[in-house]
């Protein structure tokens, strides 16, 4: 077993439920590359969400302080854009570090198993 | 924007809700390296879960066909172990591929932004 010093190695405390939800993960990934903001219609297309679902998830992210909203006009049509806040950027980066850890843990464990089951030669010491 | 051929690039359909839940992700990661199975008490420690929570999540994974249970005895004490089914192993591997994609997308987008905001020099063409 991999437990070290009483700490639960696979508890993944850093997988904040606000960011870990599938649709919100898509929204945050869409926003991280666009500091100038992304329009509602573009987010809808990028994330494959309905108006209702996208609105609901944006509200959750906004309530958590992860994203900000700018309501303006393009010509005389309302044009709303969404962007990560500074805090949102930091917290999403922290979240991604944990996500990478999950992938590394799982890949490492799967490889150990291949060794255990004889699918891979044991590394020489 | 990154949308290609009408497909939503950040929809992440493959993030199956059964596996994506934080506690269940910990359980699956604990199991992937142990084809001989992991005991309830060890899973509890590895994942930092209470008896009740661990039982509940194991049941969800079992109902989804991802894990199997073996109830036996060690001496005359009941000893129950859990392991991934063949289908569970395949589906978790597919899930991990999508998770890796999320990390790659976000890292790539963040780097593009650093370029856009002048934090990184533009790559020469």
Q: What CATH number should be reported for the domain holding residue A83? A: 1.10.10.10
Helix (H) or strand (E) holding A39: strand A38-39
Classify residue A56: in a domain, yes or no. yes
Predicted local distance difference test score (pLDDT) of residue A116: 56
Asked whether the beta carbons of B110 and A34 are under 8 A apart, the reply is no
Classify residue B34: in a domain, yes or no. yes
Residues paired with B83 in a beta bridge: B68
Q: Which residues of B touch A108 (CB under 8 A)?
A: 33
Q: How confident is the model at residue B93 (pLDDT cuts 50, 70, 90)?
A: very high
Asked whether the beta carbons of B8 and A46 are under 8 A apart, the reply is yes
Q: Which residues of A touch B10 (CB under 8 A)?
A: 26-27, 29-30, 46-48
Put simply, the answer to whether A32 touches B113 (Cβ < 8 Å) is yes
Q: Which residues of B touch A61 (CB under 8 A)?
A: none
Predicted local distance difference test score (pLDDT) of residue B117: 52
How far is C-alpha A61 from the chain's CA centre? 12
Put simply, the answer to whether A99 touches B103 (Cβ < 8 Å) is yes
Show Cβ contacts of residue B63 under 8 Å, excluding neighbours closer than 6 positions.
none
Residue B73: what are its φ and ψ, rounded to 5°?
-130, 145
Facing residue for B9 by CB, picked from A46, A49, A93? A46
* Interval B6-60: pLDDT, tens: 589 999 999 999 999 999 999 999 999 999 999 999 999 999 999 999 999 999 9
Facing residue for A33 by CB, picked from B3, B46, B110? B110
Facing residue for B117 by CB, picked from A35, A38, A109? A35
Q: How confident is the model at residue B1 (pLDDT cuts 50, 70, 90)?
A: very low
The C-alpha atoms of residue A42 and residue A24 are separated, in whole angstroms, by 15
Classify residue A11: in a domain, yes or no. no
Classify residue B65: in a domain, yes or no. yes
Put simply, the answer to whether A108 touches B33 (Cβ < 8 Å) is yes
Number of domains in chain B: 1
Residue A12: what are its φ and ψ, rounded to 5°?
50, 50
Asked whether the beta carbons of A99 and A86 are under 8 A apart, the reply is no
Structural domain for B78, as ranges: 17-107
Facing residue for B47 by CB, picked from A11, A32, A103? A11
* Interval B94-111: pLDDT, tens: 999 999 999 999 988 877
Classify residue B60: in a domain, yes or no. yes
Predicted local distance difference test score (pLDDT) of residue B4: 46
The C-alpha atoms of residue B43 and residue B36 are separated, in whole angstroms, by 13
Classify residue A8: in a domain, yes or no. no
pTM, rounded to two decimals: 0.83
pLDDT tens digits in sequence order for chain A, 125 residues long: 444 445 899 999 999 999 999 999 999 999 999 999 999 999 999 999 999 999 999 999 999 999 999 998 888 888 899 999 999 999 999 999 999 999 999 988 877 765 555 445 544 43
- For A19, the token pair is 């960011």
Classify residue B118: in a domain, yes or no. no
Asked whether the beta carbons of B67 and B85 are under 8 A apart, the reply is yes
């Amino acid at each position: 077993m991999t437990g070290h010093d009483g700490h639960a190695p696979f508890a993944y405390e850093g997988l904040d439920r606000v960011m870990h939800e599938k649709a919100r993960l898509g929204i945050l990934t869409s926003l991280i590359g666009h500091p100038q903001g992304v329009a509602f219609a573009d987010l809808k297309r990028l994330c494959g969400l309905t108006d209702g679902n996208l609105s609901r998830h944006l509200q959750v992210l906004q309530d958590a302080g992860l994203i900000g909203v700018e309501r303006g006009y393009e010509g005389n049509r309302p044009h709303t854009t969404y962007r990560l806040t500074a805090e949102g950027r930091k917290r999403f980066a922290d979240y991604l570090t944990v996500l990478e850890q999950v992938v590394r843990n799982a890949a490492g464990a799967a490889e150990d198993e291949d060794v255990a089951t004889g699918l891979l030669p044991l590394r020489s010491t």
